[in-house]
Amino acid sequence: MNPSVTGVHEECGVFGIYDIHGGDVAHSVYYGLSALQHRGQESCGIAVTDTNGPFGKVDCHRGLGLVNEVFHSHDIEKLHGNLGVGHVRYSTTGATTIENTQPLVLNYIKGTLCLAHNGNLVNAAELRQELEQTGALFTTTIDSEVIAYLIAKERINAPTAEEAVVKACGRLRGAYALVVSSPRKLMGIRDPYGLRPLCIGRRDDAWIIASESCAISSVGGTFIRDVEPGEIVSITPEGIQSYHLEAKPARAHCVFEYIYFARLDSKIDQISVYEARRLGGKILAREFPAEADLVAGVPDSGLTAAYGFAEASGIPFGMVFHKNSYVGRTFIKPTQEEREDSVKIKLNVIEPAVRGKRLVLVDDSIVRGTTMKNLIRDLKKAGALEVHVRISSPPFLYPCYFGTDVPGTNSLIAHQHSVEEIQKEIGADSLGYMTVDGLREIAGGLPICNACFTGKYPMEVPDHEIRDALESGCRHC
């Protein structure tokens, strides 16, 4: 969804499965979504169709909360069908409503369309307005509904669902990884930049399409390949067919997937998330060495880079925090005060591990600076002599329009302050950020989108905020 339209930022996970031999798939979608839970904790849903049953009948269950909160065994038992689509959604503010949960299920003249979307469009507002002027009625505030509506509209005149998708996607600008089911088909679609991940797997007679490969292996499937940027894969009992969108811009894979967002056991566009993070730590050790007794990471997303730092520097790796896994992510708390409180609840210092030690503390990113400031205060209170902070991404300077939750520039600590000022503000003894060149190295030469660090967006973005930021000559440009 376009943040400028709704104030909602989304990071989602999508999963689809088609068992050609007719077995029920709802339980597999459940496990697939559980493996993608890190991509969205706000709401989730599953829609299933029986490809041998009544045309266009869909069983659907959606709700607000985690997968294991929304689905109980009796909910899964009610979902019958061999073609399923699932979604997990994350948004930080605004429209947390049941209407905005996915998959979207649309009944129209050609049957039923189920759609799950990860990413943000940058032209959703224009498209929505245009469609509304021709009589469209929208029941949600998410841009995914614009996509579903466009596909349904194109399908009326297109001979096949794939042609309708090609036409509809030709109108979209932005990031989209989609899983779509029509009454007899499963489709996976990835925007021409390849901004968000999407891959294909197989388990016996079932085909799987998922945001990340960890979801394929979690349901006992085998990873086959990534969906290519601009590709539409269509799965029917005859097998898998591939179609391509006309637009072929330069690829721009989101580098933040490797830094923070994706799961360690996933491989995206042939690069292991684990290896990318470990390499990030090694690069930091090379570029910003430190004299210290122990290297530690901020759980969970800083741990692998910390391990890489320790390997490259020869300084021992250790755990200095206990993480309480039963509280939500700090980021989803709306006010500063609530965020600070939840940081304390979530991570607690293991005092004997830090007392009298000089530490290197590694995290994947500093956004507002809240987490790091609190952690350093707690470490020093517990007796750490020095805390040298190393961050495995460059300073966050610009908003993301493509589906990663980065707050407005005014909330980004790096936008307001130089690195020296940030070091002082968070109370670190030294501070080193990954360079943009380092990012390219961790992505192994893959063409990446790093606009949240550089302001260089792969396509035109709508907001004046970014132009203002660039024109005012922010401190890091």
Query: Is the Cβ of residue 251 or residue 346 nearer to ligand AMP in the bound state?
Result: 346
Paired residues of 449 in beta bridges: 254
CB of 452 to ligand AMP, least distance (A): 9
Query: Is the Cβ of residue 138 or residue 331 nearer to ligand AMP in the bound state?
Result: 331
Token pair in block for residue 231: 């590709």
- Least Cα distance to 476 among 393, 415, 408 occurs for 415
Of the chain, the end-to-end C-alpha distance in Å amounts to: 28
CA atoms within 13 A on the CB side of 365: 24
φ, ψ (nearest 5 deg) of residue 316? -60, 150
Query: Is the Cβ of residue 79 or residue 413 nearer to ligand AMP in the bound state?
Result: 413
CB of 404 to ligand AMP, least distance (A): 5
Query: Is the Cβ of residue 260 or residue 398 nearer to ligand AMP in the bound state?
Result: 260
Query: Is the Cβ of residue 235 or residue 252 nearer to ligand AMP in the bound state?
Result: 252
Query: Is the Cβ of residue 245 or residue 414 nearer to ligand AMP in the bound state?
Result: 414
Q: CA-to-CA distance for 210 and 195, rounded, in angstroms?
A: 15
Catalytic annotation present for 452? no
Tokens 């520039």, residue located: 409
CA atoms within 13 A on the CB side of 227: 36
CB of 412 to ligand AMP, least distance (A): 9
Tell me how crowded residue 362 is: count the other CB atoms within 10 A of its CB.
31
Query: Is the Cβ of residue 28 or residue 409 nearer to ligand AMP in the bound state?
Result: 409
CB of 411 to ligand AMP, least distance (A): 8
- Least Cα distance to 21 among 49, 43, 52, 47 occurs for 52
Q: In whole angstroms, what separates CA 74 from the centre of its chain? A: 29
CB of 330 to ligand AMP, least distance (A): 6
Sign of CA dihedral 258, 261, 264, 270: negative
CB of 458 to ligand AMP, least distance (A): 19
CB of 321 to ligand AMP, least distance (A): 11
Catalytic residue among 12, 44, 114, 449: 12
Beta strand spans in 2-138 (E) = 10-19, 43-49, 58-64, 83-91, 104-108, 111-118
Spell out the SS3 assignment of 279-298. HHHHHHHHHCCCCCCEEEEC
Query: Is the Cβ of residue 12 or residue 186 nearer to ligand AMP in the bound state?
Result: 12
Using only C-alpha atoms, what is the Rg of the chain? 22
The three-state secondary structure class of 433 is strand
Decide: 393 and 367 in contact? Cβ < 8 Å. no
Q: Which residues bind ligand AMP (CB under 6 A)?
A: 260, 298, 301, 329, 331, 363-372, 404-405
DSSP 258: I
Query: Is the Cβ of residue 28 or residue 371 nearer to ligand AMP in the bound state?
Result: 371
CB of 414 to ligand AMP, least distance (A): 10
Q: CA-to-CA distance for 471 and 474, rounded, in angstroms?
A: 8
Token pair in block for residue 138: 């929208």
- Least Cα distance to 67 among 29, 93, 100, 97 occurs for 29
CB contact set of 304 (below 8 Å; sequence gap of 6+): 264, 274, 277, 278, 281, 297
CB of 262 to ligand AMP, least distance (A): 12
Decide: 267 and 217 in contact? Cβ < 8 Å. no
Active-site positions? Answer: 12
